[in-house]
Amino acid sequence: MKKERLALRSIFQKTVDQHGMFRAGDAVVVAVSGGPDSVALLHLLCELREARPLQFSVAHFDHGLRGRESAEDAIFVGNLAEELGLPFHPGRGNALALKEKEGLSLEEACRELRYKFLQEAAEKTRARRVALGHTADDQAEEFLLRLIRGSGARGLSGMPFIREGIFVRPLLEASRADILSYLTANKFSFRIDSSNEARGFLRNRIRHDLLPMLESNFNPRIRRILLQTASILREDEALLASMAEEAWTGLAKLEEGPEGQVTVLDLKRYQEIPRPIQMRVMQKGLELSGTRLKDIGFRHLESIQSLAMKDGPYKRISLPGEVTVERIYQELRFSRKKIDKVPKDFLYEINGVGRYFLPEIGRSISLEVMEGLDSSPRESLHSVSYFDYGRIFFPLVVRNFRLGDRFYPDGLGGSQKVKDYFINKKIPRPLRSKIPIIEQGGQIVGIPGWRVGERFKVTEKTEQILRVSLD
């Protein structure tokens, strides 16, 4: 038993160190449901606090589904937080109401409510990280879930160790068996969620029926095999995402149409690139048009691909979310009916790393310090930039574009008006005011996801990197 206990601590410590999840002095929100995984995570993090100064708070969310049982979970987690001397942040939502309103699955509604609550808890506590209790077993189940529902390499690559620069998964390489051994050996109490046994949920059928059957009848190491496959796909996806970004630069542009932004692809160049890159470029076009990719199925992508590869002067197809894809001679155009309003001017002071919500554009900007460049696949084209942290001094200012703005783009050899930069990038006028700009002492540091200022770019002499991401 002691060996198992030490094994979990070793796996946990290795994951935390390998992925640089925490720094001394970090404020961390720990998401605790009361179940074995999140309770083990909380205790392991408290042990970690003995070796490095970290500030923890506990967040618990009730999805409004299990009545008295949910209320008892909240009481249990609140008492546990009190025993450990940690601040407690409870939250509650109505997952069924959101499911009906948005046409989501119950699992999607729960996830959307939960992550929104955790983001708000992080902003309230100025936390740099939110720690989640997902395990290696969850990763294996997620792989099969996405495979059954239909997914490409991007989906099958699984849950990342760090997501959006804020959510971390320190137990992602630990098995559920290791966790239960740790809890039993230390006599730590936890709650059991009765809904995890309900066979009405596909995830539960995978956990209790499919995976055990695969282990007993096909391969006793199937969980490890699935994790290895997901890891390989993550590496492949990182390369393909990078190639897609490069291809995008040469064949895509953004225009201002009568009903808002239009994404335009040059079909002659599009037809010359390999199909795997084509599909990723196509998905970027859909994303920039306001499409939720989870609403787009394989048949939709095949319809767009057929439109792009066949000759003809004009043809159009309609997609979910009021998105239209048109082929006009040698151009493929993605547009959406809804006209996005130009946001009001905004300006916020940033006093350190963390996550900051920008309500005027409905996006969050996250800042974190890294020791090396992140090689994980990008979720969207213009979402991440890297700066030399040694040249950054807080407070910074994040604001939107102003007429007369000028900066020194890296590699240009001089200054340029931000307006001219946007024009050269074919960014339509309404979209320009939605792109955040970072400023330090009156000087533009960069335009996150687009261009870094010459003085602040990462070089061979850079010791620490400031990663700025938008979501």
The string of pLDDT tens digits covering residues 356-379 is 888 888 788 999 988 765 444 344
393 and 365 together in one domain: yes
Of the candidates 264, 250, 260, 261, the residue with the CA atom closest to the CA atom of residue 328 = 264
Give DSSP secondary structure letters for 116-179. Answer: HHHHHHHHHHT-SEEE----HHHHHHHHHHHHHH---HHHHT---SEETTTEE-TTTTS-HHHH
Q: Considering 308, 336, 364, which residue would you say is the last residue of a domain?
A: 336
Calculate mean pLDDT across residues 192-197.
84
What is the distance between the alpha carbons of residues 391 and 445, in angstroms, rounded to a whole number?
Answer: 10
Could you tell me if residue 162 is inside a domain? no
Q: Is 310 helix (H, G, I), strand (E, B) or coil?
A: coil
CATH number at residue 273: 3.30.465.60
Phi and psi, residue 197, nearest 5°: -95, -10
Residue with token string 């795997």: 276
Calculate mean pLDDT across residues 90-105.
87
Give me the pLDDT at residue 55, please.
Answer: 94
| 413-423 pLDDT tens trace | 888 999 999 88
Average pLDDT, the chain: 87
Q: Is the pLDDT of residue 49 over 80?
A: yes
Give me the pLDDT at residue 380, please.
Answer: 41
Residues forming a β-bridge with 358:
363
Could you tell me if residue 375 is inside a domain? yes
- Name the pLDDT band for 1 (thresholds 50, 70, 90): very low
Domain enclosing residue 268, as ranges: 241-336
Other Cβ atoms closer than 10 A to 23: 15
- What percent of the chain shows pLDDT beyond 70? 93
| 133-170 pLDDT tens trace | 999 999 999 999 999 988 888 889 999 998 878 899 99
199 and 62 together in one domain: yes
Residues forming a β-bridge with 89:
59
Other Cβ atoms closer than 10 A to 199: 9
CA distances to 141, 223, 229 from 218, rounded to whole Å, are 16, 12, 16
Which of 133-137, 190-194, 223-227, 275-279 is predicted with the least confidence, judged by mean pLDDT? Answer: 190-194
Give me the pLDDT at residue 310, please.
Answer: 86
Give me the pLDDT at residue 199, please.
Answer: 83
Could you tell me if residue 26 is inside a domain? yes
Could you tell me if residue 154 is inside a domain? no
What is the distance between the alpha carbons of residues 91 and 93, in angstroms, rounded to a whole number?
Answer: 7
Could you tell me if residue 247 is inside a domain? yes
Could you tell me if residue 126 is inside a domain? yes
Calculate mean pLDDT across residues 270-277.
95
Residues forming a β-bridge with 366:
355, 469
316 and 351 together in one domain: no
Calculate mean pLDDT across residues 301-308.
92
81 and 109 together in one domain: yes
74 and 203 together in one domain: yes
Q: Considering 313, 336, 359, which residue would you say is the last residue of a domain?
A: 336
How many domains does the structure of the chain reveal?
Answer: 3
51 and 195 together in one domain: yes
Most confident of 36-45, 195-204, 391-400: 36-45
| 313-372 pLDDT tens trace | 788 888 887 888 999 888 999 987 654 456 678 888 888 888 888 888 878 899 998 876
- Counting other chains too, the contacts that 279-285 makes at CB distance below 8 Å and 24 or more residues apart are 279/152, 279/305, 280/240, 280/241, 280/243, 280/244, 281/244, 281/247, 281/248, 281/251, 281/252, 282/308, 284/244, 284/248, 284/252, 284/380, 284/381, 285/252, 285/332, 285/334
71 and 204 together in one domain: yes
Give the contacts of 383 (CB within 8 A, at least 6 positions apart): 449, 469, 470, 471
CATH number at residue 47: 3.40.50.620
Calculate mean pLDDT across residues 384-411.
90
Which of 112-121, 205-214, 283-292 is predicted with the least confidence, judged by mean pLDDT? Answer: 283-292
| 243-256 pLDDT tens trace | 998 999 899 988 76
Read off the amino acid at residue 244.
A
Q: Is the pLDDT of residue 6 over 70?
A: no
Q: Is 251 helix (H, G, I), strand (E, B) or coil?
A: helix
CATH number at residue 374: 3.50.40.10
265 and 358 together in one domain: no
Could you tell me if residue 385 is inside a domain? yes
What is the distance between the alpha carbons of residues 97 and 66, in angstroms, rounded to a whole number?
Answer: 14
Give me the pLDDT at residue 313, please.
Answer: 77
What is the distance between the alpha carbons of residues 58 and 2, in angstroms, rounded to a whole number?
Answer: 28
184 and 253 together in one domain: no
412 and 329 together in one domain: no
- pTM for the predicted model, two decimal places: 0.68
Q: Is the pLDDT of residue 427 over 80?
A: no
Q: Considering 277, 301, 336, which residue would you say is the last residue of a domain?
A: 336
Could you tell me if residue 150 is inside a domain? no
363 and 249 together in one domain: no
187 and 284 together in one domain: no
